[in-house]
Structure 1
Amino acid sequence: MTAAAIPVRKPGLAASLLELTKLRISGASTFTAAAGYIAFRRGADAGLATTLLGILLLAMGSSALNEVQERHLDARMPRTWHRPLPRGEFTPAGATAIAVGLALAGFLLLYLVHGPASAWLGALALAWYNGFYTPLKRVSAFAVVPGSLIGALPPAIGWAAAGGAVKDPTVLALAFVFFIWQVPHFWLLVALHAEGYEEAGFPTLVKVFGRRRLARLTFTWICGTAAACGLLPVFRVLGTLPALLLLAGAAFWLLVGSLPLLGKAELDARLFRRVFMNINLFALLLTAAVILDPFLAR
């Protein structure tokens, strides 16, 4: 029996909508945008709510559009065959209409309430993800490197919505850390699901290097992510001792937890899954440090 033939309980409309729009991933992007907003304002105000709502709507629209674009490939992967479009819970036209509606609502909210800079940065994020990165994944195993701009944009959108200039070195330092982080984050996912990606027709670095060399390359990028965190106090993204200790502790914990990637023992799914969860938690702690810093300074 194939994966697609396994009977599963059909979710309700609300659950299918949340899955179509990848609310968990969209919410994570929105959380990093909060760091950019609060870092500029050095606190929170009513504008934070409209900023986060606008970014969340854009992210959900972009995610839904991505599922339309990759519906045929998703149907061939064990990790994604159960998504709403492969299972026929939405038509491509219906899902596209939902995606466009959400993205347009998010763009207009940012534009009308926070000005053109944040709105056009949001539009750039959607265009880069759906118009550049999504098709590039089908032809290059290295697509995530330029595609990681997606991880850097949400903090910049939050910063711009708060009134900051995008060329400010402070927000560029913060965005750079998330840019570097995105690469090992995705490669760990590839190491976990390489066979599924390849079956669907995506080129992977497991095919290019093998898992052991990919594990070492991923560890190198994890080291780069930890090292890039040193830019944050230098460019005054954060400066209180508790926030610095939280950031330093998170970076050290990530490095130590990733050391098994260099080991000679067999690399199995449990290791990649553990490091993948670690790097996600690191991003959460990094964002929390940036958000808490202004309040700790009072």
Structure 2
Amino acid sequence: MTRILVRLCRPRPAALVALSSLVGYLCTGQHSLTAMTSLSAGVFLLAVAATIINQIQERDLDARMRRTENRPLPAGQISPAAAAGFSLVLGFGSLFLLWSVGHVIAVATGLLCLLFYNLVYTPLKRVTSLAVFAGAPCGALPPVIGWVCGGGSLFEPGIWSLAALLLLWQIPHTLLFVLHHRDDFRRAGLPLFAASLSPEQTRVLLQLWLLAVAAVTVTLPLTGQVKSLPGVALFTLLAPILTISGWRMLARSDWRSGFVLLNLFLLLTLGCLVFDQVLHFQPL
């Protein structure tokens, strides 16, 4: 049963969401171990609760796709009622942890992400391929949760440049995933992105999204999120690397490599932000 629950939780995507919230917290200059632990665990559990609810909602679709047909719910390894109860416990636990960090805005933002993801984005996926634009804010707000938990003001531009980066990153990330698994999505009867576009138009659209992601990356040092000279140098390199490498992959319609590149880019970006904060670390 433990193995089934771990597979149901899909911990790797949830860990990336938790990491982005931790980066938002560190960007405030705070480094309380207790707060970082509660924040990371709270956001991780919130992301897990959302993905379990999503799997309950989409278990009929998952059963039609080879990529997901062996997940616990479509495979009958756990009942929807048991999965719902598990997600409810995790959801309440996550909100309690966020509350313990000490900010009602963090709890409200986390709850908003959960509700929007499961009540707006997930149902829209059955209706239109443009649902990705509705789901993107859910991936952009975790750094904001971390930021307010660290005492940061919502009126400071730095946190919104980081949120904008994650918002824009979500779009090509999701679209490349759909393009790579388009046969599975057809089997499930889901609307396909760019179904009315030619291959060339699809490539150009994705290349423009990459340029937008690279452009926002450059704004992080300009808004004060990157302070050290090594950090600025790293971000100066990240943007052209993403643009040049991604452009070449998309020119070959290599959707999978583009997807992997975007994931690696985000990990490097978050890692560089942590590295920059470590350089400015001052003991309490």
What range describes the TM-score normalised by the shorter chain of this pair? over 0.9
Q: Does 1:279 align with 2:262?
A: yes
Match of 1:10 in 2: none
How much does 1:85 deviate?
Answer: 0.3
How many residues align? The count is 281
Aligned AA (2:259): F
Match of 1:49 in 2: 37
Stretches (4+) displaced over 4 A: none
Aligned AA (2:156): D
Q: Does 1:69 align with 2:57?
A: yes
Indicate the SS of the match to 1:248: helix
Match of 1:259 in 2: 247
Aligned partners of 1:61 and 1:99 also within 8 Å: yes
Cα offsets for 1:252-294 (capped at 9, x unmatched) = 221111122553x5x3xxx211111110000001101111212
In structure 1, how many angstroms separate the alpha carbons of the residues matched to 2:82 and 2:106?
A: 28
1:296 to 261, 279, 282: 279
In structure 2, how many angstroms separate the alpha carbons of the residues matched to 1:104 and 1:122?
A: 11
In structure 2, how many angstroms separate the alpha carbons of the residues matched to 1:118 and 1:224?
A: 28
Q: Does 1:229 align with 2:212?
A: no
- Where does structure 2 lack aligned partners over 5 or more consecutive residues? none
In structure 2, how many angstroms separate the alpha carbons of the residues matched to 1:166 and 1:158?
A: 11
CA 210–191 in structure 1, closer or farther in 2 if over 3 Å, else same: farther
Q: Does 1:84 align with 2:72?
A: yes
Which structure 2 residues correspond to residues 118-137 of structure 1 after superposition, within 5 A?
118-137=106-125
CA 197–289 in structure 1, closer or farther in 2 if over 3 Å, else same: same
In structure 1, how many angstroms separate the alpha carbons of the residues matched to 2:37 and 2:198?
A: 45
Aligned partners of 1:137 and 1:203 also within 8 Å: yes
How much does 1:154 deviate?
Answer: 0.8
- Where does structure 1 lack aligned partners over 5 or more consecutive residues? 1-12
In structure 1, how many angstroms separate the alpha carbons of the residues matched to 2:274 and 2:250?
A: 33
Match of 2:205 in 1: 217
Aligned AA (1:90): I
Indicate the SS of the match to 1:40: coil
Indicate the SS of the match to 2:274: helix
State the identity as a percent: 32
Cα RMSD for the two superposed structures: 1.5
In structure 2, how many angstroms separate the alpha carbons of the residues matched to 1:92 and 1:146?
A: 25
More deviation, 246-255/26-35: 246-255
Aligned partners of 2:206 and 2:250 also within 8 Å: no
TM-score scaled by length of structure 2? 0.94
Which structure 2 residues correspond to residues 1-298 of structure 1 after superposition, within 5 A?
13-43=1-31, 45-261=33-249, 263=251, 267=253, 271-297=254-280
Aligned AA (1:181): W
Aligned AA (2:3): A
Aligned AA (1:273): R
In structure 2, how many angstroms separate the alpha carbons of the residues matched to 1:134 and 1:208?
A: 22
In structure 2, how many angstroms separate the alpha carbons of the residues matched to 1:208 and 1:168?
A: 41
Match of 1:5 in 2: none
